[in-house]
Structure 1
Amino acid sequence: MTAVPCNHPEVRRLTQALRAEQLGLYGFADDPDATPAADFDPPVGLFLIAHVGDKPVGGGGVRLLDEHTAEIKRMYVSGVARVQGIGRYLLEQHAASRRARRIMRETGRRNTAALALYNRAGYLPCPSYVAGRDPRANRAMAKALGSSSAR
């Protein structure tokens, strides 16, 4: 894992791959550039890239929503690397590195692989924390760190 700026070329490639996958699932997708890059700058944020050998295969950002709550954002692992545990590692290492007590994540309801990952990792459904989200399309989940249930 390597910490990189949000505007790093590998981040751009991975977040565009995520967007392409979302477009395929839903016919629409958030623009990765809509989240200000500064949201992922230390000390309030972080963006990590996972490599297998020299190849970047996944990554994701974390940003603090408040003093105790972190949000995982733009997490993506390429298809060939998904069975290696990279996504699960990214989920909590990010938030723990920001000293958050609670971690939140939102994904689309058709992204069954992501929903299964969050469920296995102990995330529970919660009300949407993003204004204007359609609950018929999006699922918000949360988890208290160091616990198996969300606060």
Structure 2
Amino acid sequence: MSELLTPATLLAHWQGHRCLTRRVIEAFPDDQLFSFSIGGMRSFGRLGWEMAGTVANTLHALEHDDWTGKGVDEGERTSTKAALLDVWDAGTARLNAEFPRYSAQYLGTEQDMAWGWGSPMRFLLYQIDNEVHHRGQGYVYLRALGIEPPPFYVR
């Protein structure tokens, strides 16, 4: 891993995205978060649970070198904004507590990632990209509901 992207800068970058995504979740009316969709796509609440689950899966994978995505109980996924935000906040706290233990060397180590050859860093960057992609869908939904989404540049 280059000095430009250290584990600490990666964590700060990821947490910045997570902070913005949390604000997008908060912007949804309670009655629309899990019900509104366009063109048969998933609701932003369902996408939110998927994104929240990536933290537990990622930390499990880092700790156990198990990149299959199996073996993590994500708990019950209710259809309330409060429950989603509680899990989101717990994931933020876990990332802050646990991610700093992983070295740049480990994050850059190429290995079999169950879906192909790569490094934990590539996986983490994919997770961030996936969150940005899903958040973009949330922005479209909010605009369709007549709600101004949070500024994307404020993290």
If the length of structure 1 is used for normalisation, what is the TM-score? 0.28
Give me the TM-score of the superposition, normalised by structure 2: 0.28
Higher strand share: 1
Report which structure shows greater RCO (CA 8 Å, sep ≥6).
Answer: 2
Bigger CA radius of gyration: 2
